[in-house]
Amino acid sequence: MFEDLYRRRAYRALHTSGPLAQERERFLRFLASEGFSRDTLIRTAYLILCVARMIDLTTNDSVTISQLQKAARAWTRSRLYTSRARGGSRTRARRRFVRAATTWLRFMNRLREPMAKRLQHEDLVSDYAHWMESERGLAASTIWHRCDTIRGFLSWYEPRRPSLTAICLKDIDAFIACDKHRRWSRDLVRRKLTDLRGFLRYVALRGHCNPSIPAGIRGPRVYRYSNLPLGPKPEEVKRLLDSMNTDRPVDIRDRAMIMLCAAYGLRGCEVLRLKLEDIDWERDELHIVRTKNNVISTFRLVPAVGNAIYRYLKEVRPRCLRKEVFVTLPAPHHAMVRMHHVVARRLKALGIAAPLATPHGIRHTLACHLMSKNRPLKVIADILGHRSINSTRIYAKVDLAGLRHVALLDLGGVL
């Protein structure tokens, strides 16, 4: 591997004569197989050589993060800290040192990972998650969000009281009212309390909590259809798509992602979960697995969207074993996990101040556009993947022309 990276014999000798040369070379071959560029491999080879010289790895002992940080500080004060390592502050250099060392040592199974603090009631949370999956059939994302709320509450509650049998409604109020939660909206507070109420009801059935506690949890009143869809305007979405019609790889990928939201009203997570086999190029069909109900929706592949996806697959998408359509462009290539920042960053760069600058905002834009074209609510619900038409009625509030027509109706003295 060193022969492939370095043309000068002196550089090759420097790396082959250093400590743990075989282990370093095996790690670099692994990175090359993951698609890392030659420049990245050269920088990593230099950093892990410095790691091997600054830390005694000849023993079988594992290394802690604190040892790596101490070695990084010593490295920036030594002769090994050459011009090749510079290009920024010493703080940034230490971060690069620790990052490269962490990845290499984890690859060799020589890193002592910090032990996460285990919750006292972690077993109850795990049992509740299994119950939600097996008995209620909830989606994995829903279970994760609910357990995240519960763990956040338990992390706050356990240092204050020994067990859940001592919990009272004042504890719930104090948790919601603590400083870091004061910026929560009414709807978010309601959802958090709903998650806690479900968990405490499950715990009460197993005798670990007073049954009156979950029954007494009441969230703030949130009126149905109280909020208007707040996505960007249709002309702003078109302006956003036109701004990405370039030859830059990241623009080609992001444009295909946002076009799926704009044309089909997909949620951001549905775009990121799209698999290669979900696109039927022979029949020009697109199969979408809905996030909330796992129903498969089939759409006709719009030529503009199909061309954008095809261009991304042909020119931009790196060769990797991932089944997801949209993956990260820099190595290591893995499925993208968030699409929120893609939309928000690009709208902000264009000076578009949409209240909901997210993929869901673009989903709202499509629904409002269909409503303005007098499409039936049932059709809009099918496009958006709503199980109930009641979820689609909120978009009737933005059909101002239709509402104005209703207000001007002459009821002929019926009332």
Contact 136, 88 (CB under 8 A): no
The type of residue at 18 is G
Q: How far is CA 351 from the centre of its chain?
A: 24
* Helix or strand (DSSP H, E) at 342: helix 340-349
- Give the Å distances, CA to CA, from 353 to 16, 213, 346, 372, 374: 56, 43, 11, 22, 27
Compute the residue count for the chain.
415
Q: Indicate if 292 belongs to the active site.
A: yes
Paired with 67 in beta bridges are none
Closest CA to 57 of 91, 93, 27: 27
What tokens appear for 350 in the block?
Answer: 């264009």
The type of residue at 407 is A
Q: Indicate if 208 belongs to the active site.
A: no
Q: Indicate if 341 belongs to the active site.
A: no
∠ Cα 248 250 251 (to 5°): 65
Q: How far is CA 146 from the centre of its chain?
A: 16
Q: Indicate if 46 belongs to the active site.
A: no
Q: Cα separation of 266 and 288, whole Å?
A: 9
Q: Indicate if 334 belongs to the active site.
A: no
What tokens appear for 172 in the block?
Answer: 């719930």
Given 292, 311, 393, 397, which residue is catalytic?
Answer: 292
Contact 132, 114 (CB under 8 A): no
Q: Indicate if 386 belongs to the active site.
A: yes
Given 255, 267, 290, 333, which residue is catalytic?
Answer: 267
3-state helix, strand, coil in the chain (%, to 5): 60, 5, 35
The type of residue at 26 is R
Given 290, 346, 363, 364, which residue is catalytic?
Answer: 363
Closest CA to 236 of 354, 141, 120, 138: 354
First-to-last alpha carbon distance for the chain, in angstroms, is 87
Given 24, 253, 333, 386, which residue is catalytic?
Answer: 386
- Give the Å distances, CA to CA, from 90 to 13, 95, 194, 236: 27, 9, 48, 43
Closest CA to 299 of 238, 389, 379, 395: 379
> Tell me, what DSSP letter sits at residue 183?
T
Residues with catalytic annotation? 267, 292, 360, 363, 386, 395
